[in-house]
Structure 1
């Protein structure tokens, strides 16, 4: 073989290696961007769902004219109903998306598999229980419940240590401490003079959502590695929507000594209300809040994807303030400055739990250096 041929082979090999590094760097950066977008979609779905619960028949239910609904129904059952309507709309979006991709057959087949059943279990934990607690927390405490529910990565890390014996190193313990400290700062604002009635209770209920989502992350971790994320999110949203409607609402009706069919009656009125437009939008963003999280995790790693998604502790209050406070002109959606600072501190704590910041910076630096030599 001639020297020229050897030289050409070496150049081709070097070019292939550089191309692979370029593709890896692009794939990683895209995964980070997708995970960040998932957190933003989470904030948007929160804002539009909450806005929908102030319009149409919801305004009547929550208003002074709602004499036919008990205080228990208004406080708790309507929150579960809002979650049921949102998740049902999201399930329809998911089924439509799966149909367009030709994956409905895969969706049905996955329901009969072990990973599919585990995903349904995870959805039952994070859907009817956590989603309803999240909505009720927002109704009672306002957008301040969002960063409290964002404690789920910290709770998930602790549960993973208890359930699966996963190690908690000093970095993760530091991140958990930062999150708990930030949550304490946020909770202190619940007793201020301008705090709405029931804010402290709303924060406590939001902690239930954080616990449920943390447990869901532990349970769903296994299934999400074996199921296409688009199939997984379809299973999750359908399970959550049906669970809210057929299980949680009748349970709340029973607890409140109401007719068991009350939830279905309210659900029908909510579907025919003009406010359904906002739930259609919130369901769309809810689909991508979870779907992009699954996809981002597969591209940049679960730890980093969880950290980027956990930024909804900031995006939730931000979009609630923009959409509900600024554009809709509703009062009570502006957070005190200390709560904004605490939300950002909590996002930092979530990031520290998920990944080593110094390692992440070095990784990004290497990617930029490789990009300079392309």
Structure 2
């Protein structure tokens, strides 16, 4: 029973990440988008990415307070690892998270989320290049499987209003690459012992703050921030999205601690399948052969990579 409970925690992290994508997708397709000027609607995923990570960071910060670890936050920022985590957060947030939500907006969650889940593949390749980690035959086959699965998944455009479908696929690939690079940096930098909750807090807050107060002003999209904070209905969606994202990350780390890193990553990778299930149920996404086969190939390949070694 205890073993099942540990595995349930890992699977739940993947499920909640898929729910996060579903909430953001529902918001992007809602009538609330009429609150924004047409000039910035295309780039609204950047605004939502900032709020998503900020709310997730505040949730984890509250959890740190509950655990009595809040006093460790500022001292951790001064450590070498803390500084590396800040850099990783800038890559995984402004680049990765923004690309992820752009992908959901342009290609739909059933297609974008599984492709963004290719981060273990990119992480494996980057670790081979920069950390000199070996790639065995099994790893190579799984990487090829990821590539084939991505091709199958994106081969046929979905029905509906997705005129920029392949641009969405590209953004999803950028998200996966960014998160793979982020994981590689953290792996390289984690030499000092920092609590996982503190690392997660740093990552999420750095990401949210940098997107909202650096990226948006730089891209002249800060009007989107102002419009968002004036709408309780929009903030409600973003709060729930951030809540599910923060809880997903906490369960992900907990799952790796209880099940081991490889199994924890594999259980979390089920969000590829959950995203399709939720999209079919709540967004009426057509269940095509290419979608089913592509997601299955990608998911099996990612799980294989997660169990590598």
Q: Which one of the candidate residues 123, 129, 147 is aligned to 1:156? A: 123
**Is the Cα contact below 8 Å between 2:263 and 2:306 reproduced in 1?**
yes
- 1:319 corresponds in structure 2 to 278
Calculate the TM-score normalised by the size of structure 2. Answer: 0.91
Give the length in aligned residue pairs. Answer: 306
Give SS of 1:86's match.
Answer: helix
- 1:12 corresponds in structure 2 to none
Give SS of 2:155's match.
Answer: helix
Listed one character per residue, the Cα deviations across residues 43-82 of structure 1 (whole Å, up to 9, x for unaligned) are 0111112222334642443xxxx4xx32xx322x211001
Give the whole-Å Cα distance in 2 for the aligned partners of 1:109 and 1:31: 32
**Is the Cα contact below 8 Å between 2:128 and 2:135 reproduced in 1?**
yes
Deviation at 1:139, TM superposition (A): 0.8
Deviation at 1:335, TM superposition (A): 4.2
Listed one character per residue, the Cα deviations across residues 107-154 of structure 1 (whole Å, up to 9, x for unaligned) are 122111112112111111111111000111111111211111111111
Segment drifting more, 52-61 vs 289-298: 52-61
Listed one character per residue, the Cα deviations across residues 250-301 of structure 1 (whole Å, up to 9, x for unaligned) are 3332xxxxxxxx41x3213212311211211111110022222222223322
Give SS of 1:275's match.
Answer: helix
**Is the Cα contact below 8 Å between 2:154 and 2:169 reproduced in 1?**
yes
Q: Which one of the candidate residues 343, 352, 367 is aligned to 2:304? A: 352
Give SS of 1:166's match.
Answer: coil
Give the whole-Å Cα distance in 2 for the aligned partners of 1:81 and 1:354: 32
- 2:73 corresponds in structure 1 to 107
Give SS of 2:183's match.
Answer: helix
- 1:300 corresponds in structure 2 to 259
Give the whole-Å Cα distance in 1 for the aligned partners of 2:160 and 2:248: 32
- 2:228 corresponds in structure 1 to 270
RMSD: 2.2
- 1:179 corresponds in structure 2 to 146
- 2:210 corresponds in structure 1 to 243
**Is the Cα contact below 8 Å between 1:147 and 1:343 reproduced in 2?**
yes
* 1:39 to 2:14 alignment: yes
- 2:240 corresponds in structure 1 to 281
Q: Which one of the candidate residues 112, 126, 135 is aligned to 2:101? A: 135
**Is the Cα contact below 8 Å between 1:182 and 1:343 reproduced in 2?**
yes
* 5+ long unaligned stretches in structure 2: none
Structure 1 residues 35 and 219: CA distance shift in structure 2, 3 A: farther
Give the whole-Å Cα distance in 2 for the aligned partners of 1:157 and 1:94: 28
Deviation at 1:334, TM superposition (A): 3.5
Calculate the TM-score normalised by the size of structure 1. Answer: 0.76
Give the whole-Å Cα distance in 1 for the aligned partners of 2:160 and 2:26: 21
Structure-to-structure mapping, 1:64-83, within 5 angstroms: 66=37, 69-70=38-39, 73-75=40-42, 77-83=43-49
Instruction: Indicate the structure whose relative CO is greater, using CA pairs within 8 Å and at least 6 residues apart.
Output: 2
* 1:93 to 2:52 alignment: no
- 1:252 corresponds in structure 2 to 219
**Is the Cα contact below 8 Å between 1:53 and 1:82 reproduced in 2?**
no
Give the whole-Å Cα distance in 1 for the aligned partners of 2:105 and 2:53: 17
Listed one character per residue, the Cα deviations across residues 77-98 of structure 1 (whole Å, up to 9, x for unaligned) are 2110010111121122122222
* 1:339 to 2:291 alignment: yes
Give the whole-Å Cα distance in 2 for the aligned partners of 1:211 and 1:56: 32
Structure 1 residues 226 and 315: CA distance shift in structure 2, 3 A: farther
**Is the Cα contact below 8 Å between 1:55 and 1:275 reproduced in 2?**
no
* 5+ long unaligned stretches in structure 1: 1-24, 254-261, 326-332, 360-374
